[in-house]
Structure 1
Amino acid sequence: MSLDTVISRSNLLADDEVPPVLEVNDNGRSPFVFTCDHYGRLIPRALGQLGLPEEELVRHIAWDIGIAGVATALARMLDAHLIAQRYSRLVIDCNRPWEAPSSIPMISEATTIPGNEGLTREAADARRSAIFAPYHRRIETVLGQRQQDRRPTILVSLHSFTPVYAGIKRPWHVGTLYHRNTRLPPLLLQLLRKEGDLVVGDNEPYAVSDATDYTIPVHGERRGLMNTGIEIRQDLIDEPFGQEQWAERLARILTEIEAVFGAEHLPV
Protein backbone atom coordinates (compact mmCIF):
# COMPACT_ATOMS: atom_id res chain seq x y z
CA MET A 1 0.00 0.00 0.00
CA SER A 2 1.45 3.40 -1.00
CA LEU A 3 1.57 6.51 1.16
CA ASP A 4 -0.76 8.22 -1.31
CA THR A 5 -3.37 5.48 -0.82
CA VAL A 6 -3.10 5.72 2.95
CA ILE A 7 -3.39 9.52 2.95
CA SER A 8 -6.66 9.33 1.03
CA ARG A 9 -8.28 7.50 3.94
CA SER A 10 -7.51 10.15 6.58
CA ASN A 11 -10.42 11.00 8.90
CA LEU A 12 -9.02 10.55 12.42
CA LEU A 13 -7.98 14.15 13.12
CA ALA A 14 -10.63 16.87 13.29
CA ASP A 15 -10.03 20.06 11.31
CA ASP A 16 -9.21 22.01 14.47
CA GLU A 17 -6.60 19.52 15.74
CA VAL A 18 -2.86 20.06 15.50
CA PRO A 19 -1.42 18.76 12.21
CA PRO A 20 1.08 15.92 12.58
CA VAL A 21 4.04 17.60 10.88
CA LEU A 22 6.09 20.40 12.38
CA GLU A 23 8.86 22.08 10.40
CA VAL A 24 11.67 24.44 11.33
CA ASN A 25 13.78 26.28 8.72
CA ASP A 26 12.08 24.81 5.69
CA ASN A 27 14.43 26.98 3.60
CA GLY A 28 17.49 26.17 5.70
CA ARG A 29 20.82 26.44 3.89
CA SER A 30 22.58 23.61 5.72
CA PRO A 31 23.17 20.23 4.05
CA PHE A 32 21.76 18.62 7.19
CA VAL A 33 18.11 17.57 7.22
CA PHE A 34 16.92 16.49 10.67
CA THR A 35 13.98 14.21 11.31
CA CYS A 36 12.37 13.64 14.67
CA ASP A 37 9.96 10.69 14.66
CA HIS A 38 9.03 10.90 18.36
CA TYR A 39 9.07 14.68 18.87
CA GLY A 40 5.61 14.99 20.44
CA ARG A 41 3.10 13.14 22.59
CA LEU A 42 -0.25 14.40 21.33
CA ILE A 43 -3.15 11.96 21.01
CA PRO A 44 -6.06 12.52 18.61
CA ARG A 45 -9.17 13.66 20.46
CA ALA A 46 -11.15 10.69 19.17
CA LEU A 47 -8.78 8.27 20.96
CA GLY A 48 -9.05 9.86 24.40
CA GLN A 49 -5.95 8.88 26.37
CA LEU A 50 -5.74 5.36 24.90
CA GLY A 51 -7.03 4.13 28.27
CA LEU A 52 -3.91 5.35 30.08
CA PRO A 53 -3.46 7.70 33.06
CA GLU A 54 -1.59 10.94 32.52
CA GLU A 55 1.50 9.69 34.37
CA GLU A 56 2.05 7.08 31.66
CA LEU A 57 1.62 9.62 28.87
CA VAL A 58 4.55 11.74 30.05
CA ARG A 59 6.94 8.78 30.24
CA HIS A 60 9.40 7.65 27.59
CA ILE A 61 6.90 5.12 26.28
CA ALA A 62 4.87 8.00 24.79
CA TRP A 63 7.64 10.11 23.24
CA ASP A 64 11.37 10.83 23.16
CA ILE A 65 11.74 13.03 26.23
CA GLY A 66 13.85 16.14 25.65
CA ILE A 67 14.58 15.62 21.98
CA ALA A 68 12.11 18.29 20.85
CA GLY A 69 14.13 21.01 22.53
CA VAL A 70 17.43 19.66 21.22
CA ALA A 71 16.15 19.24 17.67
CA THR A 72 14.57 22.68 17.47
CA ALA A 73 17.62 24.45 18.88
CA LEU A 74 20.02 22.46 16.70
CA ALA A 75 18.08 23.23 13.52
CA ARG A 76 18.18 26.94 14.31
CA MET A 77 21.88 26.92 15.19
CA LEU A 78 22.82 25.24 11.90
CA ASP A 79 20.11 26.81 9.74
CA ALA A 80 19.03 23.24 8.96
CA HIS A 81 15.64 21.90 7.98
CA LEU A 82 13.87 19.94 10.74
CA ILE A 83 10.84 17.75 10.00
CA ALA A 84 9.20 16.50 13.19
CA GLN A 85 6.16 14.43 14.12
CA ARG A 86 3.91 15.76 16.90
CA TYR A 87 1.79 12.72 17.86
CA SER A 88 2.61 10.03 20.40
CA ARG A 89 4.41 6.89 19.37
CA LEU A 90 1.67 5.05 21.28
CA VAL A 91 -0.85 6.12 18.63
CA ILE A 92 1.45 4.95 15.85
CA ASP A 93 5.22 4.69 15.84
CA CYS A 94 6.55 6.69 12.91
CA ASN A 95 9.89 4.89 12.99
CA ARG A 96 8.43 1.43 12.42
CA PRO A 97 7.31 -0.21 9.19
CA TRP A 98 3.54 -0.10 9.43
CA GLU A 99 3.26 -3.86 8.98
CA ALA A 100 5.50 -4.42 12.05
CA PRO A 101 3.79 -5.58 15.27
CA SER A 102 5.36 -2.63 17.12
CA SER A 103 3.83 -0.08 14.72
CA ILE A 104 0.81 0.29 17.02
CA PRO A 105 2.05 -1.26 20.26
CA MET A 106 -0.22 -3.20 22.57
CA ILE A 107 2.51 -3.21 25.24
CA SER A 108 5.30 -0.68 25.67
CA GLU A 109 8.03 -1.72 28.08
CA ALA A 110 5.74 -3.22 30.78
CA THR A 111 2.69 -1.01 30.15
CA THR A 112 -0.39 -2.39 28.41
CA ILE A 113 -2.04 0.11 26.05
CA PRO A 114 -5.81 -0.57 26.35
CA GLY A 115 -6.70 1.75 23.47
CA ASN A 116 -4.57 -0.30 21.08
CA GLU A 117 -6.17 -3.66 21.81
CA GLY A 118 -8.49 -5.26 19.29
CA LEU A 119 -8.10 -2.61 16.60
CA THR A 120 -9.88 -3.22 13.32
CA ARG A 121 -7.96 -2.87 10.11
CA GLU A 122 -9.93 0.31 9.40
CA ALA A 123 -8.97 1.83 12.76
CA ALA A 124 -5.29 1.05 12.20
CA ASP A 125 -5.46 2.46 8.66
CA ALA A 126 -6.98 5.68 10.04
CA ARG A 127 -3.92 6.19 12.26
CA ARG A 128 -1.53 5.51 9.41
CA SER A 129 -3.48 7.86 7.19
CA ALA A 130 -3.72 10.74 9.66
CA ILE A 131 -0.24 10.64 11.20
CA PHE A 132 2.31 8.26 9.66
CA ALA A 133 1.66 8.98 6.00
CA PRO A 134 1.67 12.81 6.04
CA TYR A 135 4.91 12.84 8.03
CA HIS A 136 6.77 10.48 5.73
CA ARG A 137 5.27 12.01 2.62
CA ARG A 138 6.66 15.38 3.73
CA ILE A 139 10.13 13.88 4.25
CA GLU A 140 9.91 12.27 0.79
CA THR A 141 8.87 15.55 -0.78
CA VAL A 142 11.63 17.57 0.87
CA LEU A 143 14.38 15.10 0.03
CA GLY A 144 13.08 14.70 -3.50
CA GLN A 145 13.08 18.47 -4.06
CA ARG A 146 16.60 18.79 -2.65
CA GLN A 147 17.74 16.04 -5.02
CA GLN A 148 16.05 17.77 -7.94
CA ASP A 149 17.75 21.04 -6.97
CA ARG A 150 21.05 19.17 -6.58
CA ARG A 151 21.44 20.29 -2.99
CA PRO A 152 23.91 18.23 -0.92
CA THR A 153 22.04 16.42 1.85
CA ILE A 154 22.94 14.57 5.04
CA LEU A 155 19.99 12.93 6.82
CA VAL A 156 20.18 12.78 10.62
CA SER A 157 17.39 11.14 12.64
CA LEU A 158 17.25 12.51 16.20
CA HIS A 159 16.06 10.44 19.18
CA SER A 160 16.43 10.09 22.92
CA PHE A 161 16.47 6.98 25.14
CA THR A 162 15.50 6.20 28.71
CA PRO A 163 18.38 5.70 31.20
CA VAL A 164 16.77 2.51 32.54
CA TYR A 165 14.78 0.06 30.44
CA ALA A 166 13.12 -3.03 31.91
CA GLY A 167 15.23 -2.56 35.03
CA ILE A 168 18.55 -2.44 33.15
CA LYS A 169 20.69 0.70 33.38
CA ARG A 170 22.16 2.06 30.18
CA PRO A 171 25.63 3.57 30.58
CA TRP A 172 25.84 5.53 27.33
CA HIS A 173 25.39 9.28 27.23
CA VAL A 174 24.84 9.22 23.48
CA GLY A 175 24.77 6.64 20.72
CA THR A 176 25.06 6.63 16.95
CA LEU A 177 22.68 4.40 14.99
CA TYR A 178 23.31 3.14 11.49
CA HIS A 179 22.85 0.19 9.17
CA ARG A 180 24.50 0.21 5.74
CA ASN A 181 26.11 3.65 5.74
CA THR A 182 29.83 3.37 6.43
CA ARG A 183 30.98 6.96 5.86
CA LEU A 184 29.28 9.22 8.38
CA PRO A 185 28.84 7.01 11.51
CA PRO A 186 32.57 6.22 12.02
CA LEU A 187 33.47 9.91 11.88
CA LEU A 188 30.60 10.85 14.17
CA LEU A 189 31.69 8.18 16.65
CA GLN A 190 35.27 9.43 16.53
CA LEU A 191 34.28 13.04 17.16
CA LEU A 192 31.87 12.18 19.98
CA ARG A 193 34.52 10.07 21.70
CA LYS A 194 37.04 12.86 21.24
CA GLU A 195 34.88 14.99 23.55
CA GLY A 196 36.42 13.08 26.46
CA ASP A 197 33.48 13.28 28.87
CA LEU A 198 31.08 10.93 27.08
CA VAL A 199 30.33 7.23 27.07
CA VAL A 200 29.44 6.75 23.40
CA GLY A 201 27.46 3.82 22.06
CA ASP A 202 28.25 2.25 18.69
CA ASN A 203 24.77 1.19 17.50
CA GLU A 204 23.65 1.45 21.11
CA PRO A 205 21.18 1.35 22.73
CA TYR A 206 19.62 0.22 19.45
CA ALA A 207 20.81 -0.89 16.03
CA VAL A 208 19.01 0.07 12.83
CA SER A 209 17.42 -2.63 10.69
CA ASP A 210 14.85 -2.86 7.92
CA ALA A 211 12.52 -4.80 10.22
CA THR A 212 12.61 -2.40 13.17
CA ASP A 213 13.17 1.04 11.61
CA TYR A 214 11.67 3.14 8.86
CA THR A 215 13.21 6.60 8.58
CA ILE A 216 16.86 5.68 7.98
CA PRO A 217 16.27 2.62 5.75
CA VAL A 218 13.58 4.26 3.62
CA HIS A 219 14.61 7.91 3.41
CA GLY A 220 18.35 7.61 3.91
CA GLU A 221 19.53 4.30 2.50
CA ARG A 222 17.12 3.92 -0.41
CA ARG A 223 18.05 7.40 -1.62
CA GLY A 224 21.75 6.76 -1.17
CA LEU A 225 22.12 9.66 1.24
CA MET A 226 24.77 9.90 3.90
CA ASN A 227 22.83 9.26 7.10
CA THR A 228 22.92 8.44 10.78
CA GLY A 229 20.73 8.31 13.84
CA ILE A 230 21.67 10.04 17.09
CA GLU A 231 20.29 8.91 20.46
CA ILE A 232 20.79 11.06 23.59
CA ARG A 233 20.07 9.78 27.10
CA GLN A 234 16.94 11.44 28.43
CA ASP A 235 18.20 12.43 31.88
CA LEU A 236 20.76 14.66 30.13
CA ILE A 237 18.14 16.62 28.17
CA ASP A 238 14.97 16.57 30.28
CA GLU A 239 15.45 20.28 31.13
CA PRO A 240 16.00 23.28 28.81
CA PHE A 241 19.58 23.84 30.00
CA GLY A 242 20.64 20.32 29.00
CA GLN A 243 18.80 20.58 25.69
CA GLU A 244 20.67 23.77 24.83
CA GLN A 245 24.00 22.28 25.88
CA TRP A 246 23.52 19.22 23.70
CA ALA A 247 22.32 21.27 20.76
CA GLU A 248 25.48 23.39 21.03
CA ARG A 249 27.69 20.29 21.27
CA LEU A 250 26.07 18.60 18.29
CA ALA A 251 26.14 21.82 16.26
CA ARG A 252 29.88 22.06 16.79
CA ILE A 253 30.48 18.40 15.88
CA LEU A 254 28.21 18.42 12.84
CA THR A 255 29.82 21.61 11.57
CA GLU A 256 33.18 19.82 11.75
CA ILE A 257 31.69 16.86 9.86
CA GLU A 258 30.38 19.16 7.14
CA ALA A 259 33.85 20.68 6.77
CA VAL A 260 35.49 17.25 6.53
CA PHE A 261 33.28 15.98 3.75
CA GLY A 262 32.76 19.23 1.87
CA ALA A 263 29.71 19.96 -0.26
CA GLU A 264 31.30 18.54 -3.41
CA HIS A 265 31.62 15.11 -1.82
CA LEU A 266 28.07 14.84 -0.47
CA PRO A 267 25.34 12.85 -2.26
CA VAL A 268 22.63 14.87 -3.94
Structure 2
Amino acid sequence: MSASPALLITCEHGGNDVPPPYARLFTPWRDLLASHRGFDAGALETARGFATATGAPLFASTTTRLVVDLNRSVGRPGLFSEITRPLPARMREAILAAHYHPHRQAVAAAVADLLESGRPVLHIASHSFTPCLAGVTRHCDAGFLYDPKRSAERDFCGKWMQELACLDPDLILRRNSPYRGVADGLATALRRRFGERYLGIELEVSQRFALAGPEALSSVNEHLVLALLRALGRDTPCRAP
Protein backbone atom coordinates (compact mmCIF):
# COMPACT_ATOMS: atom_id res chain seq x y z
CA MET A 1 0.00 0.00 0.00
CA SER A 2 1.51 3.29 -1.08
CA ALA A 3 -0.89 5.34 1.05
CA SER A 4 -2.17 4.75 4.55
CA PRO A 5 -5.52 2.98 4.20
CA ALA A 6 -8.87 4.20 5.43
CA LEU A 7 -10.15 1.60 7.89
CA LEU A 8 -13.59 0.00 8.14
CA ILE A 9 -14.69 -2.65 10.68
CA THR A 10 -17.64 -5.01 10.35
CA CYS A 11 -19.13 -7.88 12.34
CA GLU A 12 -21.73 -9.94 10.50
CA HIS A 13 -22.45 -12.52 13.22
CA GLY A 14 -22.26 -10.43 16.38
CA GLY A 15 -25.24 -11.87 18.26
CA ASN A 16 -28.03 -14.41 18.36
CA ASP A 17 -31.03 -12.09 18.56
CA VAL A 18 -34.25 -13.31 16.99
CA PRO A 19 -36.51 -10.59 15.53
CA PRO A 20 -39.96 -10.64 17.19
CA PRO A 21 -41.85 -11.82 14.08
CA TYR A 22 -39.85 -15.07 14.17
CA ALA A 23 -39.67 -15.67 17.91
CA ARG A 24 -42.17 -18.53 17.94
CA LEU A 25 -40.41 -20.17 15.00
CA PHE A 26 -37.19 -20.36 17.03
CA THR A 27 -38.71 -21.57 20.32
CA PRO A 28 -37.57 -25.20 19.76
CA TRP A 29 -34.08 -24.08 18.73
CA ARG A 30 -32.73 -22.46 21.92
CA ASP A 31 -29.68 -24.72 22.14
CA LEU A 32 -28.78 -24.14 18.50
CA LEU A 33 -29.09 -20.38 18.97
CA ALA A 34 -26.59 -20.52 21.84
CA SER A 35 -24.08 -22.55 19.80
CA HIS A 36 -21.53 -21.50 17.18
CA ARG A 37 -24.29 -21.96 14.63
CA GLY A 38 -26.23 -19.11 16.22
CA PHE A 39 -23.49 -16.47 16.36
CA ASP A 40 -19.75 -15.82 16.49
CA ALA A 41 -18.96 -15.68 20.20
CA GLY A 42 -16.51 -12.90 21.03
CA ALA A 43 -16.46 -11.42 17.52
CA LEU A 44 -18.44 -8.31 18.42
CA GLU A 45 -16.20 -7.52 21.39
CA THR A 46 -13.16 -7.85 19.10
CA ALA A 47 -14.74 -5.61 16.47
CA ARG A 48 -15.60 -2.97 19.05
CA GLY A 49 -12.01 -3.04 20.31
CA PHE A 50 -10.71 -2.36 16.80
CA ALA A 51 -13.18 0.46 16.22
CA THR A 52 -12.49 2.13 19.56
CA ALA A 53 -8.71 1.97 19.18
CA THR A 54 -8.60 3.19 15.58
CA GLY A 55 -11.63 5.46 15.34
CA ALA A 56 -12.84 3.42 12.37
CA PRO A 57 -16.56 3.11 11.64
CA LEU A 58 -18.14 -0.14 12.80
CA PHE A 59 -21.04 -1.89 11.09
CA ALA A 60 -22.34 -4.78 13.17
CA SER A 61 -25.36 -7.03 13.31
CA THR A 62 -26.65 -8.96 16.30
CA THR A 63 -29.42 -10.78 14.43
CA THR A 64 -28.67 -14.49 14.53
CA ARG A 65 -27.21 -15.97 11.37
CA LEU A 66 -29.88 -18.66 11.69
CA VAL A 67 -32.38 -16.07 10.44
CA VAL A 68 -30.15 -14.99 7.56
CA ASP A 69 -26.39 -15.14 7.11
CA LEU A 70 -25.06 -11.69 6.23
CA ASN A 71 -21.79 -13.23 5.06
CA ARG A 72 -23.38 -15.30 2.30
CA SER A 73 -24.49 -14.22 -1.15
CA VAL A 74 -28.12 -14.28 -2.23
CA GLY A 75 -28.82 -17.59 -3.90
CA ARG A 76 -26.19 -19.53 -1.93
CA PRO A 77 -27.43 -22.52 0.11
CA GLY A 78 -26.06 -21.13 3.38
CA LEU A 79 -27.95 -17.84 3.15
CA PHE A 80 -30.92 -19.24 5.11
CA SER A 81 -30.76 -21.92 7.80
CA GLU A 82 -32.83 -25.07 8.03
CA ILE A 83 -35.20 -23.01 10.19
CA THR A 84 -35.91 -20.18 7.76
CA ARG A 85 -35.24 -21.89 4.43
CA PRO A 86 -38.69 -23.60 4.39
CA LEU A 87 -40.49 -20.25 4.84
CA PRO A 88 -42.55 -18.94 1.92
CA ALA A 89 -40.64 -16.85 -0.61
CA ARG A 90 -42.40 -13.64 0.47
CA MET A 91 -41.24 -14.14 4.08
CA ARG A 92 -37.67 -14.83 3.01
CA GLU A 93 -37.75 -11.68 0.87
CA ALA A 94 -39.01 -9.75 3.89
CA ILE A 95 -36.08 -11.06 5.95
CA LEU A 96 -33.63 -9.95 3.27
CA ALA A 97 -35.23 -6.51 3.07
CA ALA A 98 -35.23 -5.99 6.85
CA HIS A 99 -31.94 -7.56 7.93
CA TYR A 100 -29.66 -8.52 5.03
CA HIS A 101 -29.71 -5.75 2.46
CA PRO A 102 -29.44 -2.85 4.96
CA HIS A 103 -26.16 -4.20 6.37
CA ARG A 104 -24.60 -5.08 3.03
CA GLN A 105 -25.67 -1.81 1.44
CA ALA A 106 -24.42 0.29 4.37
CA VAL A 107 -20.99 -1.36 4.25
CA ALA A 108 -20.71 -0.97 0.48
CA ALA A 109 -21.74 2.69 0.71
CA ALA A 110 -19.12 3.31 3.40
CA VAL A 111 -16.42 1.71 1.26
CA ALA A 112 -17.44 3.85 -1.70
CA ASP A 113 -17.37 7.02 0.42
CA LEU A 114 -13.95 6.21 1.87
CA LEU A 115 -12.52 5.49 -1.59
CA GLU A 116 -13.58 8.97 -2.64
CA SER A 117 -10.82 10.31 -0.38
CA GLY A 118 -8.27 8.81 -2.75
CA ARG A 119 -6.93 6.35 -0.18
CA PRO A 120 -7.23 2.58 -0.34
CA VAL A 121 -9.76 1.03 2.02
CA LEU A 122 -8.90 -1.71 4.49
CA HIS A 123 -11.98 -3.65 5.59
CA ILE A 124 -11.55 -5.94 8.59
CA ALA A 125 -14.46 -8.30 9.18
CA SER A 126 -14.45 -9.75 12.70
CA HIS A 127 -15.50 -13.40 13.01
CA SER A 128 -14.87 -16.35 15.30
CA PHE A 129 -14.92 -20.11 14.90
CA THR A 130 -15.63 -23.11 17.07
CA PRO A 131 -12.38 -24.76 18.24
CA CYS A 132 -13.80 -28.22 17.58
CA LEU A 133 -15.98 -29.06 14.59
CA ALA A 134 -17.49 -32.51 13.99
CA GLY A 135 -15.11 -33.98 16.55
CA VAL A 136 -12.02 -32.52 14.90
CA THR A 137 -9.89 -30.04 16.86
CA ARG A 138 -8.83 -26.97 14.91
CA HIS A 139 -5.26 -26.13 15.84
CA CYS A 140 -5.53 -22.40 15.31
CA ASP A 141 -6.01 -19.42 17.61
CA ALA A 142 -6.41 -16.74 14.94
CA GLY A 143 -6.84 -17.11 11.21
CA PHE A 144 -6.22 -14.31 8.71
CA LEU A 145 -8.32 -14.73 5.59
CA TYR A 146 -7.44 -12.89 2.38
CA ASP A 147 -7.07 -13.34 -1.37
CA PRO A 148 -3.55 -14.78 -1.93
CA LYS A 149 -3.47 -13.19 -5.40
CA ARG A 150 -3.71 -9.71 -3.88
CA SER A 151 -0.28 -8.67 -2.66
CA ALA A 152 -1.58 -5.77 -0.54
CA GLU A 153 -3.88 -8.09 1.43
CA ARG A 154 -1.18 -10.73 1.76
CA ASP A 155 1.47 -8.26 2.89
CA PHE A 156 -0.76 -6.55 5.43
CA CYS A 157 -1.78 -9.87 6.97
CA GLY A 158 1.90 -10.76 7.18
CA LYS A 159 2.66 -7.56 9.10
CA TRP A 160 -0.31 -8.03 11.42
CA MET A 161 0.62 -11.65 12.13
CA GLN A 162 4.26 -10.73 12.74
CA GLU A 163 3.30 -8.09 15.27
CA LEU A 164 0.86 -10.43 16.99
CA ALA A 165 3.41 -13.24 17.18
CA CYS A 166 5.88 -10.84 18.76
CA LEU A 167 3.34 -9.85 21.41
CA ASP A 168 2.25 -13.42 22.14
CA PRO A 169 4.54 -16.13 20.69
CA ASP A 170 2.28 -18.87 22.08
CA LEU A 171 -0.60 -18.02 19.76
CA ILE A 172 -1.13 -20.37 16.83
CA LEU A 173 -1.64 -18.12 13.80
CA ARG A 174 -2.71 -19.35 10.37
CA ARG A 175 -3.20 -17.86 6.93
CA ASN A 176 -6.52 -18.67 5.23
CA SER A 177 -7.56 -21.04 7.99
CA PRO A 178 -9.97 -22.43 9.08
CA TYR A 179 -11.60 -21.10 5.88
CA ARG A 180 -10.37 -19.83 2.53
CA GLY A 181 -10.23 -16.08 2.06
CA VAL A 182 -11.67 -16.34 -1.45
CA ALA A 183 -14.75 -18.33 -0.40
CA ASP A 184 -18.18 -16.75 -0.69
CA GLY A 185 -18.50 -13.84 1.71
CA LEU A 186 -18.92 -10.10 2.04
CA ALA A 187 -15.22 -9.36 1.45
CA THR A 188 -15.20 -11.49 -1.69
CA ALA A 189 -18.22 -9.63 -3.05
CA LEU A 190 -16.68 -6.25 -2.28
CA ARG A 191 -13.41 -7.19 -4.00
CA ARG A 192 -15.36 -7.85 -7.19
CA ARG A 193 -17.21 -4.56 -6.86
CA PHE A 194 -14.39 -2.18 -5.90
CA GLY A 195 -11.20 -3.68 -7.32
CA GLU A 196 -7.62 -3.44 -6.10
CA ARG A 197 -8.06 -0.30 -3.98
CA TYR A 198 -10.26 -2.32 -1.63
CA LEU A 199 -8.53 -4.69 0.80
CA GLY A 200 -10.78 -7.23 2.49
CA ILE A 201 -9.50 -9.24 5.45
CA GLU A 202 -11.59 -11.58 7.56
CA LEU A 203 -10.21 -12.22 11.02
CA GLU A 204 -11.24 -15.55 12.52
CA VAL A 205 -10.53 -15.88 16.26
CA SER A 206 -10.99 -19.17 18.09
CA GLN A 207 -14.02 -19.15 20.35
CA ARG A 208 -11.92 -20.84 23.02
CA PHE A 209 -11.08 -17.37 24.29
CA ALA A 210 -14.73 -16.31 24.61
CA LEU A 211 -15.62 -19.65 26.18
CA ALA A 212 -12.83 -19.22 28.73
CA GLY A 213 -14.40 -16.01 30.03
CA PRO A 214 -14.10 -12.22 29.77
CA GLU A 215 -10.50 -12.06 31.01
CA ALA A 216 -9.18 -14.46 28.36
CA LEU A 217 -11.11 -12.71 25.59
CA SER A 218 -9.99 -9.28 26.77
CA SER A 219 -6.36 -10.40 26.83
CA VAL A 220 -6.29 -11.73 23.28
CA ASN A 221 -8.24 -8.70 22.06
CA GLU A 222 -5.68 -6.35 23.59
CA HIS A 223 -2.94 -8.10 21.64
CA LEU A 224 -4.98 -8.14 18.44
CA VAL A 225 -5.65 -4.41 18.73
CA LEU A 226 -2.06 -3.45 19.53
CA ALA A 227 -0.73 -5.65 16.73
CA LEU A 228 -3.18 -4.00 14.33
CA LEU A 229 -2.10 -0.52 15.38
CA ARG A 230 1.54 -1.47 14.84
CA ALA A 231 0.81 -3.03 11.44
CA LEU A 232 -0.95 0.20 10.48
CA GLY A 233 2.07 2.22 11.57
CA ARG A 234 0.17 3.89 14.41
CA ASP A 235 2.36 2.46 17.17
CA THR A 236 6.00 1.49 17.57
CA PRO A 237 6.61 -1.91 15.97
CA CYS A 238 7.33 -4.84 18.24
CA ARG A 239 10.90 -6.01 18.52
CA ALA A 240 11.29 -9.68 19.31
CA PRO A 241 14.00 -10.49 21.87
TM-score range, shorter chain: 0.7 to 0.9
CA contact (8 A) 2:120 2:199 kept: no
- The aligned amino acid for 1:189 is M
- Matched with 2:188 is 217
Shift of 1:193: 3.8
Q: Residues 51 and 78 of structure 1: is their aligned pair in 2 closer, same or farther, counting only changes over 3 Å? A: same
- The aligned amino acid for 1:32 is L
> Of residues 101, 113, 121 in structure 1, which corresponds to 2:77?
101
Q: Deviations over 1:3-47 (max 9, x none)?
A: xxxxxxxxxxxxxxxxxxxxxxxxxxx832111110121111111
> Of residues 141, 157, 164 in structure 1, which corresponds to 2:125?
157
- Higher mean displacement: 80-89 or 148-157: 148-157
- The aligned amino acid for 1:79 is G
Once residues 138 and 26 of structure 2 are traced to their aligned partners in structure 1, the CA distance between those partners, rounded to angstroms, is 29
- The aligned amino acid for 2:21 is A
- The aligned amino acid for 1:168 is V
Aligned-residue identity in percent: 24
> Of residues 128, 150, 167 in structure 2, which corresponds to 1:181?
150
- Matched with 2:92 is 124
Shift of 1:65: 0.6
Aligned-residue Cα RMSD (Å) equals: 2.0
- Matched with 2:237 is none
Q: Deviations over 1:118-163 (max 9, x none)?
A: 2222122111111110001110111111122335421111100001
Once residues 86 and 81 of structure 2 are traced to their aligned partners in structure 1, the CA distance between those partners, rounded to angstroms, is 11
Q: Deviations over 1:203-231 (max 9, x none)?
A: 1111133xx42211122453221221110
SS in 1 for 2:77: coil
- The aligned amino acid for 2:186 is T
> Of residues 113, 137, 141 in structure 1, which corresponds to 2:109?
141
Is 1:196 aligned with 2:189?
A: no
Once residues 233 and 52 of structure 2 are traced to their aligned partners in structure 1, the CA distance between those partners, rounded to angstroms, is 18
Q: Unaligned 5+ residue runs, structure 2?
A: 235-241
SS in 2 for 1:129: helix
CA contact (8 A) 2:164 2:223 kept: no
CA contact (8 A) 2:9 2:50 kept: no
- Matched with 2:217 is 243
Once residues 75 and 204 of structure 2 are traced to their aligned partners in structure 1, the CA distance between those partners, rounded to angstroms, is 24
CA contact (8 A) 2:142 2:203 kept: yes
Q: Deviations over 1:173-192 (max 9, x none)?
A: 11111124332233333334
Q: Residues 150 and 46 of structure 1: is their aligned pair in 2 closer, same or farther, counting only changes over 3 Å? A: same
Aligned length: 221
- The aligned amino acid for 1:131 is H
- Matched with 2:239 is none
- Higher mean displacement: 97-106 or 49-58: 49-58
> Of residues 47, 53, 70 in structure 1, which corresponds to 2:22?
47
> Of residues 31, 48, 62 in structure 1, which corresponds to 2:6?
31
Once residues 191 and 55 of structure 1 are traced to their aligned partners in structure 2, the CA distance between those partners, rounded to angstroms, is 38
- Matched with 2:203 is 230
